[in-house]
Amino acid sequence: MGTNYYYLILSLIRLKDELRRIKASRLQPLIGLLRTKKIEFIDGAEEIPSNKKLAADLGITVTKCNAWLKKLRQELKYSFFRNPLMVNEIECRVLISRHWNEYHDDKGRTIGDENERMFSLDVVLPVIPRMGEEIEFELADRNGYYRGTVHEIIHEVIGKKQRIVIFAHPYENEYERWMRQKVKYEDHKRWLKYRELTKDIQR
């Protein structure tokens, strides 16, 4: 799989204050350029300069720019082994909705008014709810999902921010969640057994 230069450039711009760590002389033109860039939000999407635009601004080929970008990311990553990256901001994103397969048909089309009923909010919480606990929002429309049981928590590090994504189900309780996990576990065991039985055939 090739390098996704959109996310590479996005991550470097988010961490542009940390690029001062890198002393390699050949990377300084790229570092100087990246430190002038900002992330623009247009129609809800994060807009950044492409690798082609950076190459044009630097007066070099796209191939050379790509090599510099990858080398810069590598050098920055290595620098964090010596002096760790300080993640100093926490944000939670709470999503209360049913599971994807509960409101999509076999062709992936949305069934019913789920998009209108689900609730999502970015918030800074003093206490992070744990798996199996309930969370409720007064701000949410009472005709939609305003309360749910936490069934999944994902931690994302974006630049210097830790985003904690909390998924809650409006109806499912802890027992139902456990039973769903049990089914997934049993399915996985059957798949492993099938793979073991068909190992010789596949060869």
The rounded distance, in Å, linking the Cα atoms of 155 and 173 is 23
Q: What is the pLDDT of residue 110?
A: 82
The rounded distance, in Å, linking the Cα atoms of 182 and 99 is 16
Residue 123 pLDDT class (50, 70, 90 cuts)? very high
Count of CB atoms within 10 A of residue 175's CB?
A: 9
CB 73 within 8 A of CB 98: no
| pTM of the entire predicted model | 0.74
pLDDT, one tens digit per residue, over 52-69 is: 999 999 999 999 999 999
Q: What is the pLDDT of residue 1?
A: 67
pLDDT, one tens digit per residue, over 29-54 is: 999 999 999 998 877 788 999 999 99
